[in-house]
Structure 1
């Protein structure tokens, strides 16, 4: 038999190897989007194993294992959606890289959850459902399971659509829907639901107004002064002191409440004291950093970089301390009811449950967080360190004001409302400058109406998508929860 020339054999081998390489490249390209869901699924399975090991009952209670899996799923979704509100402005302002933001947020969120996370959680989601209306422990367990599943699915859908929504409202909607399906409309505490509905408007409007006021102050006192650097030396330490005082009060009231109980008046005393100390420390540092700076807006912006990073880290710590209960609250309720045969308005969160919530938030942030971080940080409106600083400051101030007034507000709505407030203020300010008398005499070049519309500084498509998602969060989560509860109840019975 005649043999093929040696060169043709090598050519055939090269062709085959090239085909294999192309298949490998195609496989890697197709598999890349599956890496995140695969890791998240592995974490959920691990959470179920942890529940089976630490629950301490034999035989293994599969309801608790399933609840742990869905609790881990909820925690991952909170990390993917909610944490973007704290880190998005800092990334959009280029004060942090995406990797740096994820690392800082993961550390601070986990620390907040594990160090200062709530050891007691309201299983009926702040009085939304009357416990006496659900007499059967088994029905209560299925209601909590339905709330957990539905709220996680809704937050996942919102993340996929690119809409930052309130996980607190998702859980509240889930509990409400399951409660109505289990015990009827009379089971719901409608005055509490009315306050939550009011917060849909109060949270973003108040956050946006405060952010816009601080931006207006910075423009008037620093950017529009003839000597910007001298003005910055005067006012930036004041703003840093305000930030420190506000966050000290915020953490005393919210972030550290499980370590030490501090009432509102004490927190309001601690805040100004920390603020004054921070001003005394910041003034010489700002003076030293501003030496040799050019008299330009760009130079002033750099002075806000470090305060912005610190504020984002503190927001993440407080978020981890407070919102981890959204992920593990229903899970803790199921564990308590299964273990004791009864359910109560408040129960302790076991350590292994808190660990699932803390690590789930970090996994969700790392795997899926960049999408919403980019949305909040750069796709709604353009941010720089000064504007992002105003957003972070408004978030902390709004929570303090709302707590003082007894209003239930969403940190998500506040932060995103702050971004909207900064953007809409810039639009208003631009229109005001274009309409001033100088435009009529040629000092300022007039711009046609169509061009002004094109130059809108807040993307209306994102604005409408996010507002629509906010409005339908509670009814959507409630409807989904009612369906899940009815299915679970029918299957088990």
Structure 2
């Protein structure tokens, strides 16, 4: 399989399906940087450690580096996404079905973000790919249940681990700083939280960037007439291209989502914001190294809940938590149905 940039450009001009797949994938990466980046920097902004624009610029740069660096070190998340479903032996139909899956992700993510609700592109991606695979096979035979279940376990584990680590880190910080001067510790945690938000932004790029690199790489394989990407190394130019698009998407920002995640759920102080950022970044690091795709939104919001629970459970605005959980629950059938319908329609049209 030729993965050179020159060959990719030739395929783009001669294969409309690959061109559409590439544009849709880059669109999803852009939307992901736009909607998920605020989750990474929300606590840093709402505790007034950084101004919104400065935080967005920092997140854009570190999202870029996260995609590029982590994919070079460990691309197992991209590999998991690439093998999660089987689109069959017909490469042309597979490429059409992949277009439908990506279309469903863009529609759902943009709609949710316009309402100011944090979205989970991880859920959307899994649902979209699964719906398209079911459409092309006419059954669930196209789903690799071993990989699919591993992804679901990862999403559930990120919620529990995020909450647990948030509680443990915040509790430890509270005990260590109990006898220290409050003004001095606030000064320290201002800079510590900036570092934590930087780490969270880096890991967001590392996790979510790899997911969509895996999808675009799969589209390249279909355009080459192959049914998979087993044994093929992801080219550097693809990592750079996806990194740039995510960075640009991040620079757009999203103040409504910052408010929803960082202010409405739990009223945080600086040490709490640091605890949430550090614990969620560590959780994402562990999952990325293990090759398990997880939701950065899941991880960050559950960490914030854990931090709030240290003080008291009533500190958590469970109304906001409920709304986000309902959004996550609806993502699977929503994206799955859209993807299934669009895949069937595209296969009839093309």
The interval holding the TM-score normalised by the smaller chain is 0.7 to 0.9
**Closer/same/farther in 2, CA of residues 348 and 378 from structure 1, 3 Å limit:** same
- 2:253 and 2:284 mapped to 1: Cα distance? 26
d(CA) in 2 for partners of 1:393, 1:424: 16
Cα deviation, 1:220-243, whole Å, max 9, x if unaligned, reads: 3323x3xx2xxxxxxxxxxxxxxx
**Equivalences for residues 300-315 of structure 1 within 5 A:** 300-315=185-200
Query: How far is 1:484 from its partner?
Result: 1.2
Counterpart check, 1:172 vs 2:56: no
Bigger shift: 384-393 or 347-356? 347-356
Structural mapping, 1:302-341, within 5 Å: 302-338=187-223, 340-341=224-225
Secondary structure at 2:316's aligned position in 1?
Answer: coil
Give deviations 1:326-372, integer Å, cap 9, x for gaps: 3343222222321x221324444455544442232223222243332
Cα distance in 2, alignment partners of residues 379 and 324 from structure 1: 28
**Number of the residue aligned with 2:334:** 476
Instruction: Give the CA RMSD over aligned residues.
Output: 2.8
Distance 1:394 1:423 in 2: 13
Q: Is the 8 A contact 1:102 1:365 kept in 2?
A: yes
Match of 1:215 among 165, 170, 195: 170
| Counterpart in the other structure of 2:261 | 376
- Does residue 1:344 correspond to 2:228, yes or no? yes
Pair member with larger Rg: 1
> What's the TM-score once normalised by structure 1's chain length?
0.63
Work out the CA distance in 2 between the residues paired with 1:192 and 1:173.
13
Report if the CA contact (8 A) 1:85-1:376 is conserved: yes
Q: Gapped runs of 5+ residues in structure 2?
A: none
Asked whether the 8 Å contact 2:135–2:340 carries over to 1, the reply is: yes
Report matched runs for 1:188-227 at 5 Å: 188-223=143-178, 225=179
Q: How many Å apart are 1:74 and its aligned residue? A: 0.4
Task: Give the TM-score of the pair, scaled to structure 2.
Answer: 0.87
Q: Which residue of 2 aligns with 1:413?
A: 298
The number of aligned residues is: 342
1:113 paired with 2:67, answer yes
Pairing 1:63–2:17 present: yes
Quote the residue 2:85 is aligned against. 129
CA contact (8 A) 1:54 1:352 kept: no
- 1:143 lines up with 2:97 in the alignment: yes
Q: How does 1:70-109 map to 2 (within 5 A)?
A: 70-109=24-63
The structure showing larger relative contact order (alpha-carbon pairs under 8 Å, at least 6 residues apart) is 2
Rounded to whole Å, the distance in 2 between the matches of 1:386 and 1:322 is 25
Report the Cα offset of residue 389 of structure 1: 1.0
Q: Encode CA deviations 1:362-410: one digit per residue, 9 max, x unaligned.
A: 2322224333223222221112220011112211333455578886543
Gaps of 5+ in 1: 1-50, 229-294, 429-455
How far 1:204 sits from its partner (Å)?
A: 1.8
Contact 2:18 2:95 in 1 (8 A): no
